[in-house]
Each structure stands twice: as structure tokens, then as C-alpha cells.
Amino acid sequence: MRKEDPSLFTRTESFRVYLSRYPAVSALCFIHLVLFLLLLVPAQPLMFLFASLDGYNLGIAEGEWWRLITPIFLHANFSHLFFNTVSLIIFAPPLEVSLKKGKFLLLYVLCGVTANAATFFIEPLEYSHIGASGAIFGLFGVFLYMAFFRKEAISKANSQLVIIILAVGFLTSFLYSQINIAAHVFGFLAGMALAPLFLRRR
């Protein structure tokens, strides 16, 4: 990512080029879509399986630790899937290029797990949630860290765009009761905290 680049979040690649250039982001989007389509299948075994994968706090308290990870890849409805996946498609590629796919995926999952762990400690045991937004807010946390502490890695225009998107995202989080605010806040904080460990100095 270069300071002179004015279009960090502009995606102009063809579909084929996008897949080859950003394999980790593409894989995440593919997983989102496949799991969402499977959720639409009215089959009892599948419904039972997905019921064991959401972020059900009581299940986590009883030792079902995988519920801290699996909710990152599930979505409740089409609009939920659409907004999270489009956010990934637009905003995640610069980080995959900068970090390389392995470190990018690790960062993404760590932010999502931190968001889900915070939800477990803050929300009541009967609380249940799914969605990638905690991990996605973690990516914005990395971008905001760059905007303040790695200014050579991101242009002023892109820094301002990140701040605007974050402000809108947090405002939206507090306006709608069904949104998991804890996941958004702590996913973002995880991204800010992990950024210096993952970003390379140039």
C-alpha cells in the first residue's frame, strides 16, 4: 500500500483477476455464500448442524469452544450476507496484499474470535449471534492504526475515508437493537491492537 495511491478501496479487477489476486478474500466470500445457501435447505440434519455452530453463549459456557470461531462465517439473512461480503470484497484486498494471505487470514480470524469472546463475557448466557462484522471491524481497526501510526502506508484521502466509514458503522451499530455492538467494538479494538504485530515496516 502506497501513500500516493488514491484508490486503495476501488476494485476495478475482472472477476477472474480478482480471484487470482486475492485468494484469501475470495475464499472467505465463497464460504459465506455456500454456508448461507446450505442454511436455506430445509433438511433436519443441516439445521441441527448449524444450530451447533452459532455463537450461543450457553453453549460456549458448557465447553463448545468452536462457537467462538464458526459464527464468523454464518449470516442470518440475505441483507446480512450481502453487506458483510461486499465489505470484504471492497476493503479486505489491500490488507491481503500487504500481509500475504496466511497472515491476513490469521488476523481476520483473531479479530473475529476476540469479538465473539467479548460477546460471551458481556451478553447474557441465552444470547446467540452470527456474522462476520466483528472480524470486518477488526480490519477497519488495522486501517485506522495505519492512518495514525503508519502514515507512509496509506494516503490521507484513504485515511479520511476509513474514518468516515467507521463513524457510519458505529453509528449504525447503536441505532439498531439487533446488531451485536460488543462484537463491533471489540473486533475493532482487536484490529488496532494486533496491527503493529502484523504490519511490516517499509
**Which of 156, 105, 155, 150 is CA-nearest to residue 132?**
105
**pTM greater than 0.85:** yes
- The domain limits of the chain are 15-198
Q: What is the DSSP secondary structure assignment for residue 76, as one 8-state letter? A: S
- Residues 113-128 pLDDT 10s: 999 999 999 999 999 9
Q: Report whether pLDDT(44) > 90.
A: no
**Which of 87, 81, 70, 95 is CA-nearest to residue 36?**
81
**Which of 5, 31, 9, 14 is CA-nearest to residue 135?**
31
Cα–Cα distance between 65 and 27 in angstroms, integer? 23
Question: How far, in Å, are 45, 88, 111, 192, 193 from residue 196 at the CA level?
Answer: 43, 21, 14, 8, 7
- Enumerate the active-site residues: 133, 184
Averaged over 130-158, what is the pLDDT?
A: 92
Q: Domain 15-198 is in which class?
A: mainly alpha
Our CA angle for 64, 70, 73, nearest 5°, is 165
- Residues 11-41 pLDDT 10s: 888 999 999 999 999 999 999 999 999 888 8
